[in-house]
Chains A and B, each alone.
Chain A
Amino acid sequence: MKHKLAISIVSAVLFLLIGIITVSAQGSDKAILSAPTSTPAAAADRVVTTTVKSTAKAKVDTCYDCHAELLDKHPKVAADWKDSVHGAAGVSCADCHGGDPTLDQMKTSMSAAAGFIGVPDRTKTPEICGACHSNVERMRQYNLPTDQYSKYKDSVHGAKLAEGVTQVAICSDCHGSHAIKKASDPTADVYPLNVPALCSRCHSDAKMMEPFNIPTNQFDVYKSSVHGEALLGKQDVRAPNCASCHGSHDAKPPTSAEVVNVCGKCHTATQNYYEQSLHSQLKEAAPKCWTCHGNHDVTKPDENMFTHTASTEPVCTTCHDIQTLDLIVDKAKFANPDDRRCDTCHHQDSWIYEQVLSLKSAMTVADLAYKQGDVMIAEAIGRGMIMNDAESRLAEARTSLISARAAIHTTKLTEVTKLTDKADASAKEAQQMASDKLGENLFRREAMFVAMGVIITNIGILAVVRRRLYKELE
Chain B
Amino acid sequence: MDRTNPEKPSGLFNGIVDWMDERFQVRTLVQSALHVKIPRKAKTFYLGGITMFLFMVQVVTGSLLALYYQPTPDRAYDSVMFIMSNVNFGWLIRSIHSWGANLMIVSVVLHLLRVFFQGVYKRPRELTWVAGMFLLIVTLVFGFTGYLLPWDQRAYWATTVGTEIAGAMPFVGEFALNFLRSGPDITASTLSRFFGMHTLWLPMTLAAMLLVHLVLFHQQGIADPTKPVSRAKPDASATPEPEGKLLPFFPHYLLSEAIAWYVILGILIILASLWPVGLEAKANALQTPAHVKPEWYFLFLYQLLKFVPRVAGVLAPIVAIPLLVLLPFFDRNPELKPRKRLFAVIIGLLTVAGIIGLTIWGQFS
Direct A–B contact in the complex, CB atoms closer than 8 angstroms: yes
- How far is it, in angstroms, between the C-alpha of A166 and the C-alpha of B83 when the chains are bound? 75
A452 touches B252 (CB 8 A): no
Least distance between B61 CB and chain A CB atoms (Å): 15
Partner of A459, one of B81, B259, B270, B276: B259
Which stretch of A175-183, A255-263, A463-471 is in the interface?
Answer: A463-471
- How far is it, in angstroms, between the C-alpha of A389 and the C-alpha of B85 when the chains are bound? 10
A384 touches B259 (CB 8 A): no
Chain B CB within 8 A of A386 CB: yes
Chain B residues near A281: list those with CB within 8 A.
none
- How far is it, in angstroms, between the C-alpha of A168 and the C-alpha of B130 when the chains are bound? 86
Least distance between B254 CB and chain A CB atoms (Å): 10
Chain B residues near A49: list those with CB within 8 A.
none
Given contacts A384-B276, A386-B85, contact A448 B255 (CB under 8 A): no
Chain A residues near B251: list those with CB within 8 A.
469
Secondary structure type dominating chain B contacts: helix
Chain B residues near A445: list those with CB within 8 A.
273-274
Report the nearest B residue to A385, measured CB to CB: B276
Given contacts A386-B85, A444-B273, A448-B270, contact A459 B263 (CB under 8 A): yes
Given contacts A384-B276, A386-B85, A386-B278, contact A465 B266 (CB under 8 A): no
Chain B CB within 8 A of A322 CB: no
A456 touches B266 (CB 8 A): yes
Chain A residues near B255: list those with CB within 8 A.
462, 465-466, 469
A451 touches B269 (CB 8 A): yes
Chain A residues near B299: list those with CB within 8 A.
none
- How far is it, in angstroms, between the C-alpha of A304 and the C-alpha of B258 when the chains are bound? 65
Total B residues in contact with A, Cβ cutoff 8 Å? 26
Query: When each residue 254-270 of chain B gets 1 if its CB lies under 8 Å from chain A and 0 otherwise, what string results?
Result: 01101100110110011
B276 touches A455 (CB 8 A): no
Partner of B252, one of A388, A459, A469: A469
B259 touches A452 (CB 8 A): no
B259 touches A466 (CB 8 A): yes
Chain A CB within 8 A of B138 CB: no
A463 touches B279 (CB 8 A): no
Report the nearest A residue to B251, measured CB to CB: A469
A residues whose Cβ falls under 8 Å from a Cβ of B: 384-386, 388-389, 444-445, 447-448, 451-452, 455-456, 458-459, 462-463, 465-466, 469-470, 473
- A-B contacts, 20 of them at CB < 8 A, read A384-B275, A384-B276, A384-B277, A386-B81, A386-B278, A388-B81, A389-B85, A444-B91, A444-B276, A445-B274, A447-B273, A448-B273, A455-B269, A459-B263, A462-B259, A463-B259, A466-B255, A466-B256, A470-B252, A473-B252
A455-B262, A458-B262, A463-B259 given; name 7 further pairs at CB < 8 Å: A384-B278, A389-B85, A444-B92, A444-B273, A451-B269, A452-B270, A465-B255
